[in-house]
Homo-oligomer: A and B are copies of this chain.
């Protein structure tokens, strides 16, 4: 009985955080989609709601009536199992349902979900599905923050808004005197979620399994993240003009897109500024660099004569590292662990189908909601993406 009440409360708290992220928005900010990667905030709010309605309420809640029959078409995303989906790039063309309509949808589903959670004996499968739904909503909370930043940061008015980030200060790198590196010895390490012992029963995504053994050489990793000041030195040394530092795909990306600095940086009257939720301000040289692609991270590492860690090196060292300010690019492709299996049904489409062409990021960022990070978490994006709060940690050799 206690457990179910706690679950309801947890559900309500997670759902409320999605809305808290949007408190500073104008109605218009909810609607636009400046690039295909960035979804309109109202879509995130609707899509996460559609998840609860479609996967929990419709199959399990007796007499539940769906809120609006066209919403499934509008708010579906990549779950190809469930009907025809709206083309992803079209999301920003839909003025209806309105923002008010989406909030009404949320309220309706939340009311039914609360009732359902309070009155049902959940099977283990259903309990697991609800945990998945909560983590799914938390993933979209981070996307909400990054997408809102993109929308406002590409507006010529550069609006400032309040945004509830996680420990947004305190992530500056320790100064040079205190800087440490961490060395892990050569040997066999166990990687992936530990499904027994103290972590048994805690949440994990399917891609964190199976826990398996990896042989690593002796590795030394920096405890601090690369700062804006360090990255600026790379820029001023001609880093974006010299193909030698770049992967072939990365160099093509730089040339085709005219890239000259991290995302959100602007050179104004000879000085570098960048956009944050506080508005445009001069670049803080002591902050960890943010919004770089893996191509940029890799080029920076080569310029320093170092390299990016693999995801295995990162996880092996994680317990000794300060992490959480930036998603840290690894040089590991996002591929299945030995023994990885896919769940049945629509939910099983979740992770495995993306195991091609993407790079693993480890850690967490100031946009990651509390309770949604762990050292075995495998985030993943294509190497050219940089609208997430991405940063750089180096292996020193």
Contact = CB atoms under 8 A, between A and B. Distances in A.
A180 interface: no
A276 B139 CA distance: 40
Given A247-B355, A339-B217, A357-B383, A32 B93 contact: yes
Contacts of A70: 156-157
A49 B152 CA distance: 24
A302 to B, nearest CB: 9
A338 to B, nearest CB: 5
A30 interface: yes
B336 A331 contact: yes
A155 interface: yes
A248 B353 contact: yes
Interface in A22-43: 26-34, 42
A93 B36 CA distance: 11
Interface in A54-94: 70, 73-74, 78, 80, 86, 90, 92-94
A229 interface: no
Contact of A30 (B28, B78, B333, B356): B28
Contacts of A339: 217
Contacts of A136: none
Contact of A215 (B213, B295, B336): B213
A272 interface: no
Given A157-B97, A215-B213, A335-B332, A353 B247 contact: yes
A26 B96 contact: yes
Contact of A29 (B95, B336, B338): B95
A116 B276 CA distance: 41
Contacts of A355: 247
A31 B95 contact: yes
Nearest to A42: B28
Nearest to A151: B95
A212 to B, nearest CB: 7
Given A30-B28, A31-B95, A338 B217 contact: yes
A35 B153 CA distance: 23
Contact of A157 (B93, B96, B212): B96
A128 interface: no
A153 B373 CA distance: 43
Given A93-B154, A353-B246, A356-B250, A31 B28 contact: yes
A203 interface: no
A347 interface: no
Contact of A357 (B29, B249, B251): B249
A256 to B, nearest CB: 13
A358 B354 CA distance: 15
B157 A247 contact: no
Contact of A248 (B331, B332, B354): B354
Contact of A156 (B29, B73, B80): B73
Contact of A26 (B98, B216, B247): B98
A324 interface: no
A343 interface: no
A174 interface: no
A288 B247 CA distance: 34
A190 B143 CA distance: 41
Contacts of A331: 335-336
A28 B98 contact: yes
15 contacts: A26-B98, A27-B27, A28-B31, A28-B42, A31-B95, A32-B32, A32-B94, A80-B243, A95-B152, A188-B188, A217-B339, A247-B355, A248-B353, A249-B356, A356-B383
Given A73-B156, A216-B338, 7 more contacts: A26-B95, A28-B99, A29-B95, A30-B95, A34-B90, A249-B357, A356-B383
